[in-house]
Amino acid sequence: MMLAITFDADHPAARGHFPGNPIIPGAVLLSEALRVAGTAMALDVSRCTVSSAKFPSPARPGDRVEIDCSASRAGISLVCSVAGRTVLKAEVACSAKATRD
């Protein structure tokens, strides 16, 4: 499933992270990508555990992040990219409990 999020150019998490070269912190990128994916797949992600997460390239304020996500019995796989450049690869273990019928 392909989804997308855009971080505002003045996103508060980027303030001071890093002055003159702002990036979206990895924890914020992962959290937002997981929230969007969980909502789209009707999965409860409130008790998920990150099995692995790699941030090969930074996401920056103003970026449109494309999220390629898939669900399995174990959880959610995420690959996020900006203009074809991978910014996050993650495996997240969570229950398959639906958030809505």
Q: What is the CATH number of the domain that holds 88?
A: 3.10.129.10
17, 77, 86, 93: which one is catalytic? 17
Q: Is residue 30 part of a domain?
A: yes
What is the tally of structural domains in the chain?
1
76 within a domain of the structure (yes/no): yes
Q: Is 11 part of the annotated catalytic residue set?
A: no
What pLDDT, on a 0 to 100 scale, did the predictor assign at position 91?
94
Residue 99 lies in a domain: no
Residue 98, in any domain of the structure: no
The token duo for 95 is 């229950």
Tens digit of each residue's pLDDT, the chain (101 residues): 999 999 999 989 888 888 889 999 999 999 999 999 999 998 888 889 999 999 999 999 999 999 999 987 778 999 999 999 999 999 999 865 555 54
Burial of 87 (0-12, 13-18, 19+ CB in 10 A): buried
Q: What is the pLDDT of residue 63?
A: 96
- Residue 100 within a domain: no
Predicted TM-score (pTM) of the model is 0.89
Which domain does 49 fall in, by range? 2-93
pLDDT of residue 59: 97
Measured CA to CA, the distance from residue 24 to residue 96 in angstroms comes to 28
Model pLDDT, residue 31: 95
Task: Report the pLDDT value the prediction gives residue 46, as an integer from 0 to 100.
Answer: 86
